[in-house]
Amino acid sequence: NIEFGTPQRVSVQGYDNQIMEPFLSRDGSILFFNNLNNPSVDTNLHWSTRINNTLFEYQGELQGVATESLEGVPTMDQNNILFYVYTGDYFQTLQSIYMGTYNAGGLTNISVVENLSLNQPGWLNFDVEVSNDGQTLYFVDGLYDENGGPREANFSIARKNGAEFQRDPNSATILSNINTDNLEYAAAISKNELELCFTRIIGDISPDSEAKIYIATRTSSDLPFSEPQLISEITGFVEGPTFSADDNGLYYHKKENGDFVLYYIEKQP
């Protein structure tokens, strides 16, 4: 088992709103996140710069990407290609994962990531994580119904093939210990792709749902992941893990007194 220490609260100086879906750039210098993921507010992408492990300085909204629709769950590879979820065109295209080039607080060359959508109304790719080398996407197929949702959520894997991503035919095998009848979403993959952290909600979504964070391992990046281990040191309603630059720690958001705030936890030696 991997043991963790005590969670530490993380502050973003100059920002006093909700923080959800954190993603730390692979060099550790930039913390991306979105504000509250709720139809009542305009959910956008934000960025901040690192002062230390538990202190960041707010820099603002990402430029060139904000709309009145939702943009969320940022993730970025080592070449500054940033992926995110945008739902504004979903009912026209059934597509929801987009990519662009990140530079100095802005995003350019934005385009849809083809071949991920199941192209069935109700199914939505509502989460995405890109590997450090930019060759693999760990994303979610979620099924929504008239009551919202999701009712179903599992991971799939896509690999870069030339200029495009394609679903990996071995996806179900690689994730056979991860995907269940419960809801799995919000993946974080380590740099070497041997550790996968993710969020799971057991049972149907309700006001009493408990989201928890798990970790699974493997010895080679082409093998299936192990049975996941619940990270018991991370308590409360918690989602959206992301690895620290050395893969020794995790950032995640937690619902605390009705607000979503950021925490950091490190593996024990």
- Domains of the chain, earliest start first: 8-266 (2.120.10.30)
pLDDT at site 90: 94
Structural tokens at position 46? 């934000």
In 3D space, the residue among 94, 133, 101 whose CA is nearest the CA of residue 116 turns out to be 94
Q: Which residues of the chain have pLDDT under 50?
A: none
> What is the model's pTM?
0.96
| Amino acid letter, residue 170 | N
pLDDT at site 207: 78
pLDDT at site 205: 77
SS3 at position 193:
coil
pLDDT at site 203: 83
Q: Is there a contact between 49 and 57 (Cβ–Cβ < 8 Å)?
A: yes
pLDDT at site 36: 86
pLDDT at site 145: 82
